[in-house]
Chain A
Amino acid sequence: MEDYEAQEQEFMRKLEELEVSRSQMLKRSLAAAAGLTILSSPGAALAARARGDKNPPLKGRGFSLKEMVAEAKKEGHLNTIALPPDWANYGEVMSTFTKKYGIQITNDNPNGSSAQENEAVRSLKGDSRAPDVVDVSPAFAVSGASEGLYARYFPSTFATIPRAMKDTRGYWYGDYWGAISIGYNQNLVPNPPKTFADLLKSEYKGKVALNGSPLTSGSAIAGVFAAALANGGSVSNVAPGIDWFQKLKQSGNFIPVGTTPQTVASGQTPISIDWDYNNLAYVSEFPAARWKVTIPSDGVYGGYYAQAINKNAPHPWAARLWQEFVYSDQGQILYLKGFAHPARFNDLAKRKKLPKSLLDALPAPSLYAKAKFASLGQQTQAKAVIASQWPAKMGG
């Protein structure tokens, strides 16, 4: 059998035994990702393109994986962008890909925004440093597709990605989703908050933080959506969410500093409203903070991110191989290890491929059952409302 097939079997076996503890996995992925950011030379890859190799396929299904791996290996490199190593376990996703296929990854701008990803595709067009693949929020996936930034491709498992999370023409496809959660430091917050209503209590004075500003951060805007759902609003009416944050600020509970690993580790943001996969990653990352995570029962808001291939990717075969990997069972389970719900969650659950230990690490499925997602139209509308109301109500 091929090298990578053997590796995958070994991965699945280890997973069942779960010999490796979670914190060790996290440490390894962080270490691996740190090494991934070293400057590497894509010169060889460009030379391969110049030799005039054949065109990559439109559909993964039915195409020989062996051939795709061979072509990708000839390119020898993959450029990714805006993949923080500790976000949905991307560190391990990238290092596993490299180990499995022997293809080095250069990860540019790890904490970049979706807008910066699309801009990199635009600005670096034709340059060997341009990103091959992107992981963007749905709004930017749609605008990127309509602008002609992406190539069409159908990963082999495309059919098992939920309809609501993909572009049927094959320009982009959702890779994982999460829900807004409340994370808290048990040392500084002895009485855990369970709902948005709880957070207004006076015992949480000066303790509640968001992951950035809703004007720039996707997870912050999701926090506003969740607050809206908890306060009589809906995915088409986020104004109650903004009002709730204003109340939080007036009560003195809100601190405007954006959550970072430093603020969590030091206890400066004892309570953080953020995606579940981010908050859950902190649990093992900072044992001293005794971080715990819950999904607020009064407002459950979900959001997903989407993969796409750069139409002018410097390494088109490696890009498609990446998608095959990300949407394989192994890739999707790696997301689950990072506490994110993979897009093919339902398919994997049906085929009983989800390890119980990983499922147990997530909050109870009943909490997620009520999750609401906003459509693109609703998101655009919400952004406009936030742009006009947030600075006035929260500023000064």
Chain B
Amino acid sequence: MKPRRFIAPSALPWLLLAAIYFLVPLIATLLFSLKSNQTGKCCTVANYSWVIHNGDFWHTLKISFLLALETIVISLLLFVPTIYWVHLKLPKLRPVIAFLALIPFVVPPIVMVVGLLRFFKGSPDWFYAKPWGFLAGAYVILAFPYMFFSLDAGFRSIDVHTLTEASQSLGARWTTTLVKVILPNIRAAALAGSFLTLAIVMGEFTIANLAAFKTFPIFIQLVNETQGFPAGALTLLSFGITWAAMLSLLLVGRKRGARGAIVPATR
């Protein structure tokens, strides 16, 4: 059975269904965003112009994007070695961590931010008063469930033991094994987790709001609550920008990806 050259007929209906479901609401928003405030009818780009010429739009976008990158890096540094280690040596710990990974869902963001603000009240300004400290710290926890379940699925689909043994028998140290052997094999899972983290940071509102930071979602919320037609334009612009960010993450991941074969999880 050689690989198919064209799309399978049974795949088409599902892809079409997904396309329609995802695109129609965006089209509805687009139609709204092209309406003029004076006449209530199509067509004008004034709403898009309003967003693009707004200084806050670019300023907050930059902050959120950098914050997202910082959160992704910290999350990967923290979670990949840990989950690797658990899969390799401490499988009994896995359900414990899986359980911990559900806790961020249970603590409402409102509760979390109030708790964190009080807990870290005495801490130095470079951490407490800056988004790069306090907010990034909170966002890593928010990303935790998504990172965990993505990475976990990724680690499952490879044979951790074989890979590690092979690498070590060739004389590699732990760090080399992790970076040069394991990481390329869970690339897809790490990327998926990173996508989700990026999306979370670009969309998180409550914690940033109550901790008085000015991030992109704060700007979006303000516009949504005070502007009419420009809000539709902003929705689509932010959608497009985040999508572009995802694509660039994908390209970065692909370039540094391994060309080696993925060792399947059979044994």
- The answer on direct contact between A and B (beta carbons under 8 Å) is yes
Q: Which residues of A contact B (CB under 8 A)?
A: 30, 34-35, 37-39, 84-86, 108-112, 116, 119-120, 123-129, 187, 260-262, 264-267, 285-289
Main DSSP-derived SS at the A contact region: loop
Report yes or no: A285 in contact with B212, Cβ–Cβ below 8 A: no
Contact flags (1/0) for B36-70 with A, using CB distance below 8 Å?
Answer: 11111100000000000011100100000000000
Report yes or no: B55 in contact with A109, Cβ–Cβ below 8 A: no
Write the nearest CB–CB distance from B131 to chain A, whole angstroms. 10
Report yes or no: A288 in contact with B231, Cβ–Cβ below 8 A: no
- 3 closest cross-chain pairs (CB), A and B: A288-B40, A265-B228, A123-B117
- Complex: how many Å from CA A85 to CA B121? 30
- Complex: how many Å from CA A34 to CA B231? 14
Contact A124-B117, Cβ < 8 Å, known A111-B221, A261-B227, A261-B231:
yes
With a cutoff of 8 Å between Cβ atoms, the chain B residues found around residue A110 in the complex are 222, 225-226
B92 at the interface (CB under 8 A from A): no
Report yes or no: B228 in contact with A261, Cβ–Cβ below 8 A: yes
Report yes or no: B114 in contact with A85, Cβ–Cβ below 8 A: no
B128 at the interface (CB under 8 A from A): yes
Residue of A nearest to B113 (CB): A123
With a cutoff of 8 Å between Cβ atoms, the chain B residues found around residue A289 in the complex are 40
Report yes or no: B38 in contact with A39, Cβ–Cβ below 8 A: no
Contact A262-B228, Cβ < 8 Å, known A110-B222, A288-B37:
yes
- Complex: how many Å from CA A37 to CA B214? 8
With a cutoff of 8 Å between Cβ atoms, the chain A residues found around residue B32 in the complex are 262, 266
Contact A35-B56, Cβ < 8 Å, known A119-B210, A129-B129:
yes
Contact of A38 among B41, B118, B129, B214 (CB under 8 A): B214
- Complex: how many Å from CA A266 to CA B248? 35
B224 at the interface (CB under 8 A from A): yes
B167 at the interface (CB under 8 A from A): no
- Complex: how many Å from CA A41 to CA B247? 34
Report yes or no: B56 in contact with A37, Cβ–Cβ below 8 A: yes
Residue of B nearest to A37 (CB): B56
- Complex: how many Å from CA A109 to CA B208? 10
With a cutoff of 8 Å between Cβ atoms, the chain A residues found around residue B39 in the complex are 288
Q: Which residues of B contact A (CB under 8 A)?
A: 32, 35-41, 54-56, 59, 114, 117-118, 121, 128-129, 209-210, 212, 214, 219, 221-222, 224-229, 231-232
Which among A187, A262, A267 has the highest number of chain B CB atoms within 10 Å? A262
Write the nearest CB–CB distance from A302 to chain B, whole angstroms. 24
Contact A120-B210, Cβ < 8 Å, known A34-B54, A264-B228, A266-B228:
yes
- Complex: how many Å from CA A261 to CA B40? 13
Contact A287-B232, Cβ < 8 Å, known A109-B212, A110-B222:
no
- Complex: how many Å from CA A286 to CA B55? 23
Which among B54, B219, B227, B232 has the highest number of chain A CB atoms within 10 Å? B227
Report yes or no: B224 in contact with A35, Cβ–Cβ below 8 A: no
- Complex: how many Å from CA A264 to CA B32? 12
Write the nearest CB–CB distance from B137 to chain A, whole angstroms. 16
Report yes or no: A127 in contact with B222, Cβ–Cβ below 8 A: no
Report yes or no: A39 in contact with B128, Cβ–Cβ below 8 A: no
Write the nearest CB–CB distance from B89 to chain A, whole angstroms. 41
Contact A128-B129, Cβ < 8 Å, known A108-B212, A119-B210:
yes
With a cutoff of 8 Å between Cβ atoms, the chain B residues found around residue A108 in the complex are 212
Contact A85-B129, Cβ < 8 Å, known A34-B56, A37-B56, A124-B117:
no
27 A–B contacts, CB within 8 A, in A order: A30-B227, A35-B55, A37-B56, A37-B219, A38-B59, A85-B226, A86-B226, A108-B212, A111-B225, A119-B210, A120-B210, A120-B212, A123-B121, A124-B117, A127-B129, A260-B224, A261-B226, A262-B224, A262-B227, A265-B35, A265-B40, A266-B32, A266-B229, A286-B37, A287-B37, A288-B36, A288-B39
With a cutoff of 8 Å between Cβ atoms, the chain A residues found around residue B222 in the complex are 37, 110-111
- Complex: how many Å from CA A85 to CA B226? 8
Report yes or no: A109 in contact with B118, Cβ–Cβ below 8 A: no
Report yes or no: A126 in contact with B37, Cβ–Cβ below 8 A: no
- Complex: how many Å from CA A39 to CA B129? 12
- Complex: how many Å from CA A120 to CA B221? 19
Write the nearest CB–CB distance from B213 to chain A, whole angstroms. 8
Residue of B nearest to A111 (CB): B225
Residue of B nearest to A46 (CB): B125
Contact A265-B37, Cβ < 8 Å, known A38-B55, A85-B226, A260-B224:
yes
Which among A112, A116, A123 has the highest number of chain B CB atoms within 10 Å? A123
- Complex: how many Å from CA A264 to CA B38? 13
With a cutoff of 8 Å between Cβ atoms, the chain B residues found around residue A119 in the complex are 114, 210
With a cutoff of 8 Å between Cβ atoms, the chain A residues found around residue B40 in the complex are 187, 265, 267, 288-289
Contact of B38 among A35, A129, A288 (CB under 8 A): A288
With a cutoff of 8 Å between Cβ atoms, the chain A residues found around residue B209 in the complex are 109, 112
- Complex: how many Å from CA A93 to CA B160? 63
With a cutoff of 8 Å between Cβ atoms, the chain A residues found around residue B114 in the complex are 119, 123
- Complex: how many Å from CA A125 to CA B118? 10
Report yes or no: A39 in contact with B59, Cβ–Cβ below 8 A: yes
With a cutoff of 8 Å between Cβ atoms, the chain A residues found around residue B38 in the complex are 287-288
- Complex: how many Å from CA A260 to CA B229? 11
Residue of A nearest to B122 (CB): A126
Write the nearest CB–CB distance from A348 to chain B, whole angstroms. 28
- Complex: how many Å from CA A75 to CA B92? 58
With a cutoff of 8 Å between Cβ atoms, the chain B residues found around residue A266 in the complex are 32, 35, 228-229
- Complex: how many Å from CA A38 to CA B56? 6
Report yes or no: B228 in contact with A285, Cβ–Cβ below 8 A: yes
Report yes or no: B59 in contact with A84, Cβ–Cβ below 8 A: no
Residue of B nearest to A185 (CB): B40
